[in-house]
Amino acid sequence: MKKGTVKELLSSSCFKNWKSMLIEGETIDAEDLDLIMDMASLERKIMINVDSMPINFSHRKALHFLEMDYHEAHWIRVEDLMTIRNSFSVSLISNYFTCDHLNQLIRFWFKCDYCMFRHLTIHMTDSFLVTSIFKSLIYLSTSRLGLQQFFILSHRYELVEFPISVISWTGTNFKMSTVPIEGEYKQEAKILKILMRKKQLEEELESGSEFENTRLNYELQISKQQLENQGVLLKLLQPDFLLLTLYKDTVFFLIRHFNRSLIPLTPPLITRLWLLCCRAKTFNGT
């Protein structure tokens, strides 16, 4: 691409209000790329599919488009992802992201009081390490017909329009979507709210006075009762594992609390848990 070509096109009245742009080729000039990024807005979509990007390229508005598809994304840092706001979709192919970076991003999203994005796809070379990705987070893991999904409820769920993150790992792609609280995953959100409150009460119990602990224990029992009312049965599998069985949908929930390990949800384990669920139903007369 010759220097000035992009500048000439963008200066033309025909391209003044462009909505979508596709850039393909071996490389692109840094000056031309700066001009394009300067025009970023939530009314524009961009796809860049070049073999190599300018060395040390960086731009504060690179992730400020409505939709972004960057094939060569080694230049994007996790700090750049944290600048996304109200975008619809982001797709990054070649990059340097690790599971620890994903954890940083999710924890940032968890505290946000605004919508960052609706859909995020990051091609990964790392394995899907649950303990790294969800470190210091309370999350819900479900398995339906072999599809495993992970759910996190935003700390600011009362303010955010799409406060539930639905995370999955498809092939080598990390996928994170955000959805409204009133919808397909309404029940998962309800359970996560109770678990977040339960965790808060447990932390307060560690530092509360004897008088306060009486009240906190009472509220903690209410939280446990609420879980039972949701058709959730808490079973201690091992000291660090909690299994929640949702009778209504016969879905198994594995809850990981802060810095605890998650038991792998393998087909043999699902079969064993299903049998436990059936026995529990019979025992409770359901």
Assess contact for 100 and 81: CB atoms under 8 A: no
Is residue 276 in some structural domain? no
Same-domain status, 93 and 198: no
Compute the distance between CA of residue 177 and CA of residue 157 in angstroms, rounded to an integer.
Answer: 15
Residue 262 has a pLDDT of 42
Same-domain status, 78 and 125: yes
Same-domain status, 223 and 92: no
Is residue 154 in some structural domain? yes
Is residue 246 in some structural domain? no
Pairing label, strands 87-94, 117-123: parallel
Q: Which long-range contacts (CB under 8 A, 24 or more apart) does 181-190 make?
A: 181/153, 181/157, 185/151, 187/230, 187/246, 187/248, 187/249, 188/140, 188/142, 188/151, 188/164, 189/151, 189/153, 189/157, 189/163, 189/164, 190/230
Same-domain status, 74 and 216: no
Q: Which domain holds residue 56?
A: 5-181
Tens-digit pLDDT profile for the chain (286 aa)?
Answer: 444 567 777 877 777 789 999 999 999 999 999 999 999 999 999 999 999 999 999 999 999 999 999 999 999 999 999 999 999 999 999 999 999 999 999 999 999 999 999 999 999 998 899 999 999 998 888 877 678 899 999 999 999 999 999 999 988 999 999 999 988 899 889 888 888 887 888 778 877 666 677 777 777 777 777 766 665 555 443 433 444 444 444 444 544 443 344 444 455 555 555 555 554 433 333 3
The structural domain count of the chain equals 2
Residue 222 has a pLDDT of 78
Same-domain status, 103 and 199: no
Same-domain status, 175 and 45: yes
Same-domain status, 66 and 101: yes
Residue 73 has a pLDDT of 96
Residue 280 has a pLDDT of 44
Is residue 47 in some structural domain? yes
Same-domain status, 105 and 153: yes
Residue that is last in its domain, among 166, 181, 196: 181
Q: Model pTM?
A: 0.78
Is residue 248 in some structural domain? no
Same-domain status, 105 and 195: no
Residues listed for the chain:
286
Residue 9 has a pLDDT of 79
Compute the distance between CA of residue 118 and CA of residue 116 in angstroms, rounded to an integer.
Answer: 7
Is residue 225 in some structural domain? yes
Same-domain status, 175 and 200: no
Compute the distance between CA of residue 204 and CA of residue 207 in angstroms, rounded to an integer.
Answer: 6
Same-domain status, 101 and 206: no
Residue 230 has a pLDDT of 64
Same-domain status, 158 and 212: no
Is residue 27 in some structural domain? yes
Is residue 261 in some structural domain? no
Q: What pLDDT, in 10s, does the model give residues 129-144?
A: 999 999 999 888 887 7
